Amino acid sequence: MSGVNKVILVGHLGKDPEIRYLEGNVSVASFPLATSETYNKDGKRVEQTEWHNIVMWRGLADVAVKYLTKGKLVYIEGRLRTRTYEDKEGIRRYATEVVAETFTLLGRKSDFEPAGTANAGTAASTPAQKAEDKEIEVDFTENDQEDNPLPF
């Protein structure tokens, strides 16, 4: 029986995705994602945030750069990958990343409109406009099944 390597995260982007192009015009995007959990310690609410390095390949990377921006809430499914590299001083380093296979934007409809066009929360909003602001999901999945080792 083979093992299972599955990661599911819901969090906020720490910064806009950075995209770069490798040989053969293969695109790869990367960005940090913050997930938080809260718990009570000595009667006080404590929030603990974890940061995850996310990597997306090819078409998924192109879509991510188009739709994802710092602060957006996103659902990501993927797998863990640990790679090794040597830093400038020749010291062997390790990096663990989530290689995303799919992502879903989470939030209200107004979160996906260009800046300045959303009227949610303004005094002029009608009940119908507010109803349109209900939560929606937009799903993006990488269809290319080729497994690529990270080039660095």
> One digit per residue, pLDDT tens: the chain, 152 residues?
899 999 999 999 999 999 999 999 999 999 999 999 999 999 999 999 999 999 999 999 999 999 999 999 999 999 999 999 999 999 999 999 999 999 999 987 766 665 555 444 433 333 333 334 444 455 666 554 444 444 43
Q: How many domains does the structure of the chain reveal?
A: 1
Q: Which DSSP letter does residue 112 get?
A: G
Residue 124 within a domain: no
- Closest listed residue to residue 11, CA positions, set 61, 57, 62, 47: 47
Query: Which tokens in the block code for residue 65?
Result: 């750069």
Distance CA 116, CA 109 (A): 14
pLDDT at 108: 76
Q: What range does the domain containing 91 cover?
A: 7-108
Cα dihedral across residues 13, 15, 17, 22: positive or negative: negative
pLDDT at 7: 98
Check if the beta carbon of residue 5 is closer than 8 Å to that of residue 79. yes
- Closest listed residue to residue 33, CA positions, set 47, 12, 19: 12
pLDDT at 142: 58
pLDDT at 137: 55
pLDDT at 1: 82
Residue 152 within a domain: no
pLDDT at 107: 82
What pTM was computed for the model? 0.73
Residue 56 within a domain: yes
Residue 18 within a domain: yes
Mark 114-144 as b/e (b = at least 16 C-beta within 10 Å).
eeeebbeeeeeeeeeeeeebeeeeeebebee
Residue 78 within a domain: yes
- Closest listed residue to residue 16, CA positions, set 47, 48, 61, 49: 61
pLDDT at 134: 45
Output Rg (C-alpha) for the chain, integer angstroms: 19
pLDDT at 122: 38
Residue 82 within a domain: yes
CATH number where 31 lies: 2.40.50.140
